Structure 1
């Protein structure tokens, strides 16, 4: 344990926080498979750790939950620490800089805030938040902007997906208990972004990655969206960051940030009980993180002199991600907000499985315009890739990359899934269509992400309507 006096000296020598900002055009990659491990992306390493991959991921060791439950906490902590150390490195950051990437989206599980985990019934490795801090510091040093993506929610937000951390059909996120845990996570992450210099290039926090698409199965999700925004803005107001049209409704009489959160939780006349309860629950977690992560400003904001803080973009999947009368996240906006859409042709349901149909579809995509008409702007495409439902030739992949980049650049930009995947005998040819770094190496993706191999790729496929 480091003393808080020592931490104060450490902070005094650190460079000032400079707030992250939304790029004029996002050219990004996801750092997937890192702090939320998806076994399909690294089958060889997963097998060496003792995991497995099967047709039904709920029946084998194919998630962080299943692995930790099977092998125990100590083994999981040790094996995942090795993975976190090696999967995303300074060499990777250097490559992303060389490839012109200006934005990284980092998928996170709720369990990275460890006190939120019920260890009697939930099973996840511990220690990831230290690696997150190291990772965002590397990205900040490189001048790359960051989105923190709540990718795997408490209770699981989508059925039968390893990206939720627990492959199960028992979806329980859309309950009062788990909504509340997600709000506490939000308060903790917002506080770290604004007070830990390592997080200085974070400009957005995404509330929920890929919620269940049928809105009839996500009760009270619209209320959660509004509470998510309120939690972010309450933390910012507590720090003295102005939020247009919103006041704190409580008097702050201390420079101790965690104590200030308690004052807001107890006295605010503006925020509802769920928001105030999230602030109160976050305070003791942040006291511990102040020591663990060496961030004394969490205990005394006066130690964070020279800080340039601006409001974060609260971020949601766009309203058209769901059907069956979904809530519109634009209705929750207070201050800057962004919207995310994901588009994969390889899973079907978008276009017929042939090159012409793919290009006709993507070249006439109107999602940016449709979302803007509903207030969901700026919109970026936070996940996409080159995989197809057919054996794609090299010639087609050049066109497919250009056409997708052209379509997604009509909005705020794009974030490729993924920055890399494993290259091994076990992974086969996986990296050809799923790895951005390999896509650049093969020439499908241009070295300058703003360029195209053929800027007129869509000309033969555009319709008049």
Structure 2
């Protein structure tokens, strides 16, 4: 009996991985089975820490407190208003290329998460006091076209929100402590952005690989500091579904409210259908106002992207988008549960980095003990937050990690995150330069594969029994 128990414990991680793969359910429009993905970070939302030498070459600055120097897109565009657009266009063109897409295919990646700033919809920017580069929407279309041709699915992640959703972070596009996202005007701008991106995802053929839109990347974790966020989650879903219903796309599991309000709206002319939808939803004023403002913006962008024929032809028959939120566990102090906002397909995201502390003691044994007994998928499912994927994770640690540990650390994370819908590594690459030092070793997926920490087939592990001694 003891020998049998030891054998089962040795095989447990492998069996868990195989069992989770059998249970995997495909997300509508997404990859078939588990998500094996990477983030396209620092492409359309640039974070200078990931490419320090290029940032300096562009004209930016590096400082300990990112709010005190030119260390964000906002600060850069304010400092160089006449040249920022051209400088960023060169960065967009060279940071993510066809060769990167080819490498994603070679490494078996089936999904990318694309961080976006609200300013990619340029008319939402209040230029008197907001400073962001222009032209990103065409680069997004270019990248999505390349990804679609390669068979790679995409999540559009609203990474940097109007008014800033989190203080002092490069990833918001503006390093500031003045957080204003959680206000009615900026909730409204985010809903307009949502309507526009939903429309593009269904109407522009090059957006055909998009299967999900994420509402907000990493909001403030203390829910007492995010007033109105629960209402925003509800309205985010309603906006996505209202656009889809106006385009003639039925939404599975609709509670009937939207369908009844929008019955008979779909028709030939997209602009007319969206405006009619807005008129018939006046009882949902936040949703109605977002639709009304988004409609001409969407039409203008389709013309700009040379896809204006979609305005008269309508949307091809596609699956409804998967609405996506950070899971309920992301916040504390009585957070709203995004599961309560669900209409149609919905997914949940969790980010787990050990390198910032607060997860496990800073030593290899504690890290392995913690990760191999991770309960987040089970805990989230009990609160209705399923399917869950891990939208950001990487290999950095709070201690000097040996190569041997990084093999095990990569395997253990992949094993446990595959209990859910899958995982998305941060980041597909980081700069390799003298200025960047050894950054790529633990933050770059490409580098991790080349060094062997990450397997060339993302569904496999170097050691199927990596967690046997810790479970």
TM-score normalized by the length of structure 2:
0.92
8 Å contact from structure 2 (residues 247, 266) kept in 1:
no
User: What is the distance in 1 between the residues matched to 2:260 and 2:143?
Assistant: 33
2:361 to 328, 339, 352: 352
1:81 pairs with 2:89:
yes
1:295 pairs with 2:307:
yes
1:134 pairs with 2:142:
yes
Secondary structure class of the residue paired with 1:85: helix
8 Å contact from structure 1 (residues 196, 297) kept in 2:
no
Q: Which moved more, 1:253-262 or 1:380-389?
A: 253-262
1:274 pairs with 2:286:
yes
Offset at residue 268 of structure 1 (A): 3.0
User: What is the distance in 1 between the residues matched to 2:347 and 2:119?
Assistant: 24
- For residues 199-255 of structure 1, the C-alpha deviation after alignment (integer angstroms, 9 at most, x for no partner) is 111110000000000000000100000000000000000011112333152443752
8 Å contact from structure 2 (residues 245, 266) kept in 1:
no
User: What is the distance in 1 between the residues matched to 2:170 and 2:31?
Assistant: 30
Which residue is equivalent to 1:117?
125
Secondary structure class of the residue paired with 1:213: coil
User: What is the distance in 2 between the residues matched to 1:96 and 1:449?
Assistant: 11
Which residue is equivalent to 1:343?
352
Offset at residue 291 of structure 1 (A): 1.2
8 Å contact from structure 2 (residues 35, 422) kept in 1:
yes
Which residue is equivalent to 1:227?
235
Which residue is equivalent to 1:158?
166
User: What is the distance in 1 between the residues matched to 2:242 and 2:260?
Assistant: 7
Which residue is equivalent to 2:19?
none
Q: Which moved more, 1:249-258 or 1:223-232?
A: 249-258
8 Å contact from structure 1 (residues 234, 248) kept in 2:
no
Offset at residue 259 of structure 1 (A): 1.9
User: What is the distance in 2 between the residues matched to 1:234 and 1:385?
Assistant: 36
Which residue is equivalent to 1:262?
275
8 Å contact from structure 1 (residues 257, 297) kept in 2:
no
8 Å contact from structure 2 (residues 120, 136) kept in 1:
yes
User: What is the distance in 2 between the residues matched to 1:108 and 1:396?
Assistant: 33
Structure 1: gaps spanning 5 or more residues: 1-18
User: What is the distance in 2 between the residues matched to 1:89 and 1:225?
Assistant: 34
Offset at residue 391 of structure 1 (A): 0.6
Offset at residue 100 of structure 1 (A): 0.5
8 Å contact from structure 2 (residues 158, 213) kept in 1:
yes
User: What is the distance in 2 between the residues matched to 1:226 and 1:195?
Assistant: 24
8 Å contact from structure 1 (residues 238, 252) kept in 2:
yes
1:245 pairs with 2:269:
no
Which residue is equivalent to 1:180?
188
TM-score normalized by the length of structure 1:
0.93
8 Å contact from structure 1 (residues 238, 248) kept in 2:
no
- For residues 60-88 of structure 1, the C-alpha deviation after alignment (integer angstroms, 9 at most, x for no partner) is 0000000001111x311010000000000
Which residue is equivalent to 2:4?
none
User: What is the distance in 2 between the residues matched to 1:185 and 1:207?
Assistant: 10
User: What is the distance in 1 between the residues matched to 2:266 and 2:421?
Assistant: 41
1:381 pairs with 2:390:
yes
1:210 pairs with 2:231:
no
Change in Cα spacing, 1:238 to 1:69, as seen in structure 2 (3 Å) is same
- For residues 130-159 of structure 1, the C-alpha deviation after alignment (integer angstroms, 9 at most, x for no partner) is 000010111110000110000000000000
User: What is the distance in 2 between the residues matched to 1:23 and 1:119?
Assistant: 42
Alignment RMSD = 1.2
Aligned length, in residue pairs: 439
Structure 2: gaps spanning 5 or more residues: 1-27
Map residues 60-75 of structure 1 onto 2, 5 A cutoff: 60-72=69-81, 74-75=82-83
